[in-house]
Amino acid sequence: MQQSTLLKISILCSVIGLFILVIVSENLSLNNSNISLINSSQLEQKVKIKGVIKQATNKDTVSFLTVEDLTGNISVVAFQPSYKFQKQDIVEVEGIVSDNYNQIQINALSIKKF
């Protein structure tokens, strides 16, 4: 085989491989975590929770929430929130587990309101 044919085949295989990776990565998602299972061993890891807002403090650039599910509650910090949260809102939070003065919290990357 000529070099140009091998080059074309290798480029085609690379493009197909990248296309498959994009499709697979879009279909990957986090499973919901029970709040009671989130602990310091998960610091800096991404988690997803679903629960009811039990407390909400909304500022201009940040919202402080307490989200509760059937297993417990956790503090959530949402920077640059797109809307104001209220008690009893049902939300799904994806974020990074962090430690704030020895208290585990989630720094929200995205919040869906139901």
Residue 104 belongs to a domain with what CATH number? 2.40.50.140
Residue 22 shares a structural domain with residue 48: no
Encode 83-103 in three state secondary structure. CCCCCCCEEEEEEEEEEECCE
Q: For residue 75, what are the domain limits?
A: 35-113
Residue 42 shares a structural domain with residue 61: yes
Q: What is the pLDDT of residue 28?
A: 73
61-85 pLDDT, tens digit each? 999 999 999 999 999 999 988 888 9
Residue 57 shares a structural domain with residue 89: yes
CB 48 within 8 A of CB 28: no
Residue 80 shares a structural domain with residue 98: yes
Residue 52 shares a structural domain with residue 97: yes
Q: Is pLDDT at 1 greater than 70 in this prediction?
A: no
Q: Is the pTM of this model over 0.85?
A: no
Residue 105 shares a structural domain with residue 79: yes
The chain-wide mean pLDDT, for the chain, equals 92
Please state the domain count of the chain.
2
17-40 pLDDT, tens digit each? 998 988 887 667 778 889 999 999
